[in-house]
Amino acid sequence: MTQKIKVGILGASGYTGAEAMRLLLRHPHVEITLLTADRKAGQSVEEVYPHLGGYGLPDMVSVDDADWSSVDVVFCGLPHGTTQEIIATLPEDVKVVDMSADFRLRDPETYAEWYGHTHQALELQKSAVYGLTELYRDDVKSARLVACPGCYPTATLIALLPLVRAGLVDPLDLIIDAKSGITGAGRGLKQNTLFSEAGEGMGPYSVSKHRHAPEIEQEVAAFAGLEASNVRVNFIPHLVPMSRGELVTCHLKLTEGKTAADIRTEFEATFKDEPFVRVLSEGQVPQTQMVRGSNNCVVNVFEDRIPGRVIVIAAIDNLVKGSSGQAIQNMNLMFGFDETEGLEQVALFP
Amino acid sequence: MTQKIKVGILGASGYTGAEAMRLLLRHPHVEITLLTADRKAGQSVEEVYPHLGGYGLPDMVSVDDADWSSVDVVFCGLPHGTTQEIIATLPEDVKVVDMSADFRLRDPETYAEWYGHTHQALELQKSAVYGLTELYRDDVKSARLVACPGCYPTATLIALLPLVRAGLVDPLDLIIDAKSGITGAGRGLKQNTLFSEAGEGMGPYSVSKHRHAPEIEQEVAAFAGLEASNVRVNFIPHLVPMSRGELVTCHLKLTEGKTAADIRTEFEATFKDEPFVRVLSEGQVPQTQMVRGSNNCVVNVFEDRIPGRVIVIAAIDNLVKGSSGQAIQNMNLMFGFDETEGLEQVALFP
Amino acid sequence: MTQKIKVGILGASGYTGAEAMRLLLRHPHVEITLLTADRKAGQSVEEVYPHLGGYGLPDMVSVDDADWSSVDVVFCGLPHGTTQEIIATLPEDVKVVDMSADFRLRDPETYAEWYGHTHQALELQKSAVYGLTELYRDDVKSARLVACPGCYPTATLIALLPLVRAGLVDPLDLIIDAKSGITGAGRGLKQNTLFSEAGEGMGPYSVSKHRHAPEIEQEVAAFAGLEASNVRVNFIPHLVPMSRGELVTCHLKLTEGKTAADIRTEFEATFKDEPFVRVLSEGQVPQTQMVRGSNNCVVNVFEDRIPGRVIVIAAIDNLVKGSSGQAIQNMNLMFGFDETEGLEQVALFP
Amino acid sequence: MTQKIKVGILGASGYTGAEAMRLLLRHPHVEITLLTADRKAGQSVEEVYPHLGGYGLPDMVSVDDADWSSVDVVFCGLPHGTTQEIIATLPEDVKVVDMSADFRLRDPETYAEWYGHTHQALELQKSAVYGLTELYRDDVKSARLVACPGCYPTATLIALLPLVRAGLVDPLDLIIDAKSGITGAGRGLKQNTLFSEAGEGMGPYSVSKHRHAPEIEQEVAAFAGLEASNVRVNFIPHLVPMSRGELVTCHLKLTEGKTAADIRTEFEATFKDEPFVRVLSEGQVPQTQMVRGSNNCVVNVFEDRIPGRVIVIAAIDNLVKGSSGQAIQNMNLMFGFDETEGLEQVALFP
């Protein structure tokens, strides 16, 4: 076989890091040579993630002790805000697949407004490609730094951008009611993600002020040919008692004269050759159970009872297509591998 | 004390029947004297519901073998469509609290359209009172037959009707994104409610065609002073992996000049003396965990990012306030008891 | 009515504290006048436990700021080790129902061995009554300080002590395979109790070294007339993905000539007048679903396939009978109330 | 590459059938050419299992309509009792990997006693190999018919047989306390496996009379050199609210003079080259979270508090190593493939 590329995972003790390990362990052209995790530095993978024990992975090291000469590409699963400083120090020839939010927003002012501080690597930001693979594939191929979308924007934009681009729906009347499994809140210790608090119940959070709203607005505006500051979406996420899975229910207003059938036609045309997006049969509802553990996205459209409106629904696994899986999909493009390498896992059900 | 009233529960083997038993066992003015369950006839309560064993409840009998002289009031938890025929045969002096859908829709044509058959007890239908207690309290007091609302309409209408009545929101632009625990699907055996199918995942169902949509439209129209046939709501329910709980996220358009603050003021005025509805503090999100096992409803309002719109959210326990609890609340009114008798249970958390 | 007693809850921000509030809010002879929680001092109950908002409970205060003159009795839900120092400073006329582990072990050396430090209130320890209500009822009635058993010992000892006392099983061959819901691990932030870690999987913990083992041994020895140091039990707990509930599966060796039927007879004789212990019908298996949210314990016995052995199984709700419920049961005895006051809640199922 | 073998799955609509599909879709030397499911005959895979849609699998057919010439091997996931009749009619050159219980018990009388009817294919029974791969590897290689063990026996016997064979534990004092996820009960519609009944609670079932007991006894006897009729184990399974996963907690009596360290040494020697069995580090507890979705088994040993006793714990995914995964492992041996082909999936966590 060809030589394997060497991969580092920064922030390997978080869920996106663990998921990257799980998937990359099966990738035929990859060797994991570096794992950083500041608070777990010195620990073995088995200690941090028992399910990943026995695979010969390297021990965790502090990011300060990382040997960058040992890697061709890094996946960044670091907390938002810390990524930009670290990436700025990396050797030029190390490619970067960023799973944090640091390089998603193109406008520095919007970034500062939503993340509470000035961006620390504006030059890098300019060169970053937004890694929503299905819609930015060519840009990703030649990028050094790919900013993978947030989990909610991934599911939302796969469904909405083709419709906005084709002028089928009103980009100024987008209502996105989103639901996520608890891993979306990360591995950090929080009272509201304890089993006994998050289980057997549900509710919304960050109503009207979730950081994924401006990210969605940025892309909708770009595909609609509008100023981002003119696009405002209703985006409300809910936390649902399941570990993985994300479902977005989009309540949309059709452009005058357009129908649900037009949307179905557009979906089928857009996604017919996509390996990871499946338009479901008419009437079949997307469920997160269809995609758990896989890089797949399922999508469908339904007529609303209110004339002139439709409901578009998409489901993904937030840790795979919504994070580490899409990151690997991007890495495959950046290194000229088959886009599906390491990602052919079938969904786990039941 | 005063003499206890004698209560029968028809369809006692279903979840609403069990929940009525659980609550009525603690009601100081009630004695359960009749339990019917056709397929479980002859079985003890302990066999059908082990958690209700040991309380001296009567055995299940077939509805054909019921002794109506033994009851002052019946709770009907029968499958939709069968209730109306049975109720039509009851002695006049037996009051009826119906938890099925049979008497909720006032218009016979709408009933026939959504339930697939002509209504069999149109005379009774005319005398039925819609049992959304907070908004029909006076009618309930004097009713013989109360049609308790569906679980989704309960949560939805408690939040929406005061706003529609006060002219604060547009009754023709109502988008209701609802989420329910699995008990909402009943105790019948269905593949999609098996633990391994419904667990660890979620999705929508009955998109744009759930039977609770016309019920919501009927009431919105009534409070808005419109024809029901002119009101159409977007109502989409989702099944969430929890046993109990229901959350409705309502995306609403404000009437010109109105604000989220106006809605809060209206909520506080409407509910300030209600024993079971609590307007949460500003910014606090309703969660089903707050009301599990109780007859409470929590509600709040949030500004939308889209100017001129708000998000109103309400949460209830679908088996209590959404069914058997509200039924008992209505019974209390019908018999002149304190409205809260038997319903003071505090929510079970964690 | 008679005057209400005034109750304080120390450590009110933990799960046992919340559960005590939930139950005491319905107790007719009790008024909650003091809530302490050091890290939440100054916060309202609604902030700490939204489901308990709206009931007019006092705000949380630091234990240092507690006004002891305002209480007749305190429930202690403090972390193990801190209780003994605080209780030692209380006025003599304040009764104490301790839900921590501080006063359960009678032998100071055993305490020091298992809890890692010398006991700080040995005099109080001597006067403490072990609050396994069904087996120490008379002692509890006259106690000032009651040490409520741990959740595992409660379920285990209700089932085993009558058998040991009657000489039906071998006290030196006790194998107790226990399973608990996640609330048993408390509200503290731990990685292994996050929803995504504890959900959809299970495993044992503290194998052969759980602190409830010596507590079980102490009581078995006492009822068998043996030295505690001579009794060793196999006790292995497992963490199961549910919030509440505890099940103990006891693998026992019958005394020569005794049978499963003898055990059933003993159970029925022992528990026939107990309000909270129910011996199930022959062949019916105990499940935690039967007791969720209630103070009930269900128990049954089964023949083993290995001749001369039986399996005894008991289930409780770890937060009610296993903690706050039993604590209230003891308080009722200490103040001469009906033993079941505030505890008549029927189990919540489904 | 080499030509692919053609695989049929009988009973493809059940969970073991679905899991076989999920895994075989990734197997490089396999093509799925036949799927039978009597009640779902005529339906597409997408209709029966939406998560398997889009992979070009054949539609379901009735077993009567199966074209046996199209397959080299069949996986049988049929209900117990029906497999034997169907297999008896298959062409001689079709190999059989049976995941049902039909050929597990070697003794016809034991079979009849536990399964309620005389075995219908006794000649085939004689040629069947018990497919516990790690302990019957050589026999499996040359078998035409492999009877894969039950899920509980798989986890139990991997842990116990090496110890019994080495004379380290008493084969007449085996207490096996087992816990399984709900998929273990299959996809059939049963009230006790509904989400709202099985969730948020747990309990034992089939106490002392589960059909996996005689299967365990058969193998323990074989490895101990005893008559099966002389070996009796205590085997008690519990149903736990998780979809997948199985944990067995074995309470064992050491042979005089042996220690927990001897058992660890034996485990390490036995499993050091096994691709799917991992002996955990000293003190690390097996959890089903470590193996979910994978063919792995994790095992460990702990000292008991009762002198002379140990606790051995093993965890598997009941649908993979406990059923379809082990079946594929056996198929690999029967066809000379690498034993791990199609089974290298890393466990899915969180």
Q: Which amino acid is at C12?
A: A
Residue of C54, C199, C347 lying closest to B278 (CB–CB): C54
Mean pLDDT along residues B164-184: 98
Q: List the single residue in A with minimal CA-CA distance to C245.
A: A196
CA B185/CA D237 separation, integer angstroms: 29
Whole-Å CA distances, B191 to A106, C345, D189, D191: 46, 32, 6, 11
Are the Cβ atoms of D344 and A22 closer than 8 angstroms? no
Mean pLDDT along residues A16-21: 98
| Contact (Cβ atoms closer than 8 angstroms) between residue A175 and residue A250 | yes
Which residues fall within 8 angstroms of residue C168, CB to CB, at 6 or more apart? C254, C255, C258, C262, C263, C266
Strand partners, A299: A279, A314
pLDDT band of B2, cuts 50, 70, 90? low
Residue of C189, C200, C243 lying closest to A189 (CB–CB): C189
Q: Which of B76, B148, B151, B297 is catalytic?
A: B151
pLDDT band of B80, cuts 50, 70, 90? confident
Q: List the single residue in A with minimal CA-CA distance to D54.
A: A278
**DSSP 3-state of D179:** strand
- Asked if residue D1 has pLDDT above 60, the reply is no
pLDDT the model gives residue C80: 84
Q: Where are the domains of chain A?
A: 5-127, 152-318
Q: Which amino acid is at B107?
A: D
Q: Å from A28 to nearest chain B CA? A: 30
Average pLDDT, chain B: 97
pLDDT band of B8, cuts 50, 70, 90? very high
- Asked if residue D2 has pLDDT above 80, the reply is no
Which residues fall within 8 angstroms of residue A198, CB to CB, at 6 or more apart? A182, A192, A239, A241, C195
How many C-beta neighbours within 10 Å does residue C257 have? Answer: 8
Mean pLDDT along residues C53-80: 95
Chains contacting B with at least 3 CB pairs below 8 Å?
A: A, C, D
**DSSP 3-state of D159:** helix
Residue of D173, D203, D303 lying closest to C286 (CB–CB): D203
- Asked if residue A1 has pLDDT above 90, the reply is no
pLDDT band of A40, cuts 50, 70, 90? very high
DSSP designation for B194? B
Are the Cβ atoms of A203 and B234 closer than 8 angstroms? no
- Name the nearest CA neighbour of D260 among D298, D220, D311, D314: D311
Pairing mode of beta strands B169-180, B234-239: parallel
DSSP designation for C307? T
Q: List the single residue in A with minimal CA-CA distance to B302.
A: A207
Mean pLDDT along residues C117-138: 96
Q: List the single residue in B with minimal CA-CA distance to D200.
A: B243
A306 vs B contacts (CB less than 8 Å): 173, 175, 232-234
Mean pLDDT along residues B88-114: 96
- Name the nearest CA neighbour of C178 among C160, C191, C190, C164: C160
- Asked if residue A275 has pLDDT above 90, the reply is yes
Strand partners, D75: D9, D97
Mean pLDDT along residues A137-152: 98
Which residues of D touch chain B, with CB atoms under 8 Å apart? Answer: 15, 181-183, 187, 189-191, 193-200, 241-243
pLDDT band of A79, cuts 50, 70, 90? confident
Token pair of B224, please?
């808005």
- What's the pTM? 0.97
CA B72/CA B336 separation, integer angstroms: 13
Q: Which amino acid is at A144?
A: R
A249-271 pLDDT, tens digit per residue, is 999 999 999 999 999 999 999 99
Torsion angle, CA of C94/C96/C102/C103, rounded to 10 degrees?
100
Sign of CA dihedral A270, A274, A280, A285: negative
pLDDT the model gives residue B3: 86
Residue of B208, B240, B304 lying closest to A202 (CB–CB): B240
Token pair of A47, please?
């200690």
**DSSP 3-state of A53:** coil
- Asked if residue C214 has pLDDT above 70, the reply is yes
Q: List the single residue in D with minimal CA-CA distance to C299.
A: D203
Are the Cβ atoms of D350 and A183 closer than 8 angstroms? yes
Are the Cβ atoms of D55 and A278 closer than 8 angstroms? no
DSSP H or E run through C310: strand C309-316
Mutation for B interface: A233, A287, A316, most B CBs within 10 A: A287
Which residues fall within 8 angstroms of residue D127, CB to CB, at 6 or more apart? D143, D144, D145
Token pair of B329, please?
């609340």
DSSP H or E run through B154: helix B151-165
CA B21/CA B18 separation, integer angstroms: 5
Residue of D177, D232, D289 lying closest to C249 (CB–CB): D177
B315-330 pLDDT, tens digit per residue, is 999 999 999 999 999 9
Residue of D15, D26, D54 lying closest to A344 (CB–CB): D26
D91-149 pLDDT, tens digit per residue, is 999 999 999 999 999 999 999 999 999 999 999 999 999 999 999 999 999 999 999 99
CA D86/CA D96 separation, integer angstroms: 11
Q: List the single residue in A with minimal CA-CA distance to C51.
A: A197
- Asked if residue D65 has pLDDT above 90, the reply is yes
pLDDT the model gives residue B4: 97
Q: Which of D76, D148, D151, D297 is catalytic?
A: D151
Average pLDDT, chain A: 97
Average pLDDT, chain D: 97
Q: How many helices (H) and strands (E) does chain A have?
A: 11, 14
Angle CA D253–D256–D259, to nearest 5: 70
CA D183/CA D19 separation, integer angstroms: 11
Are the Cβ atoms of D51 and A289 closer than 8 angstroms? yes
pLDDT band of A299, cuts 50, 70, 90? very high
CA D307/CA C335 separation, integer angstroms: 44
Are the Cβ atoms of A182 and C190 closer than 8 angstroms? no
- φ, ψ (nearest 5 deg) of residue D315: -135, 140
- Name the nearest CA neighbour of C194 among C151, C239, C247: C239
Token pair of C346, please?
């029927």
CA D256/CA D199 separation, integer angstroms: 43
Range with lowest mean pLDDT among A39-48, D57-66, D74-83, D234-243:
D74-83
- φ, ψ (nearest 5 deg) of residue D32: -85, 115
Residue of A199, A289, A348 lying closest to D348 (CB–CB): A348
DSSP designation for B316? E
Q: Which of A76, A148, A151, A250 is catalytic?
A: A151
pLDDT the model gives residue A6: 98
pLDDT band of D79, cuts 50, 70, 90? confident
Q: Å from C1 to nearest chain B CA? A: 15
Which residues fall within 8 angstroms of residue A219, CB to CB, at 6 or more apart? A130, A132, A153, A157, A161
Token pair of A11, please?
């922030």
CA D329/CA D340 separation, integer angstroms: 7
A88-115 pLDDT, tens digit per residue, is 999 999 999 999 999 999 999 999 999 9
pLDDT the model gives residue C161: 98
Q: Å from C346 to nearest chain B CA? A: 6
D254-290 pLDDT, tens digit per residue, is 999 999 999 999 999 999 999 999 999 999 999 999 9
Which residues of D touch chain A, with CB atoms under 8 Å apart? Answer: 15, 18, 21-22, 25-26, 46, 49-55, 183, 199-200, 243-244, 278, 280-281, 284, 287, 289-294, 344-350
Q: Å from D203 to nearest chain C CA? A: 4
| Contact (Cβ atoms closer than 8 angstroms) between residue B267 and residue B246 | no
DSSP H or E run through C153: helix C151-165
Instruction: Write out the DSSP string of B90-143.
Output: S-TTSEEEE-SSTTT-S-HHHHHHHHSS--S-HHHHHH-EE--HHHHHHHHHT-
Domain C5-127 is found in CATH 3.20.20.80: no
Are the Cβ atoms of A203 and B285 closer than 8 angstroms? yes
CA C121/CA C101 separation, integer angstroms: 13
Token pair of D247, please?
């944990």
B293 vs C contacts (CB less than 8 Å): 293, 348
Q: Å from A62 to nearest chain B CA? A: 34
Token pair of C37, please?
């929680």
Q: Å from B116 to nearest chain A CA? A: 19
Q: List the single residue in C with minimal CA-CA distance to D231.
A: C306
Strand partners, B316: B246, B297
Instruction: Tell how far CA B308 is from the center of its chain.
Output: 31
Active site residue B250: no
B195 vs D contacts (CB less than 8 Å): 182, 193-195, 197-199, 241, 243
Q: Å from B8 to nearest chain C CA? A: 19
How many C-beta neighbours within 10 Å does residue C23 have? Answer: 24
Mutation for A interface: B177, B243, B312, most A CBs within 10 A: B177
Are the Cβ atoms of C181 and A200 closer than 8 angstroms? no
Residue of B18, B291, B346 lying closest to C22 (CB–CB): B346
Pairing mode of beta strands D234-239, D5-10: unpaired
D280-339 pLDDT, tens digit per residue, is 999 999 999 999 999 999 999 999 999 999 999 999 999 999 999 999 999 999 999 999
Chains contacting C with at least 3 CB pairs below 8 Å?
A: A, B, D
| Contact (Cβ atoms closer than 8 angstroms) between residue B201 and residue A245 | yes
Range with lowest mean pLDDT among A345-349, B81-85, D174-178:
B81-85
Q: Å from D146 to nearest chain B CA? A: 28
Token pair of A43, please?
């620990």
**DSSP 3-state of C95:** strand
Q: List the single residue in D with minimal CA-CA distance to B239.
A: D195
A304 vs B contacts (CB less than 8 Å): 208, 234
**DSSP 3-state of C152:** helix
Torsion angle, CA of A219/A223/A225/A231, rounded to 10 degrees?
-40
Are the Cβ atoms of A196 and C243 closer than 8 angstroms? yes
How many residues can be counted in chain A?
350
- Asked if residue A236 has pLDDT above 70, the reply is yes
**DSSP 3-state of D292:** coil
pLDDT the model gives residue D80: 84
- Name the nearest CA neighbour of B305 among C180, A231, C52, C215: A231
Are the Cβ atoms of A179 and B179 closer than 8 angstroms? yes
Mean pLDDT along residues D27-42: 97
DSSP designation for D2? P
Within 13 Å of residue B267, how many CA atoms lie on the same side as its CB? 25
**DSSP 3-state of C242:** coil
Q: Å from C177 to nearest chain D CA? A: 7
Q: Would you identify the CATH topology of the domain B152-318?
A: Dihydrodipicolinate Reductase; domain 2 (3.30.360)
CA C52/CA C31 separation, integer angstroms: 15
| Contact (Cβ atoms closer than 8 angstroms) between residue C303 and residue D232 | no
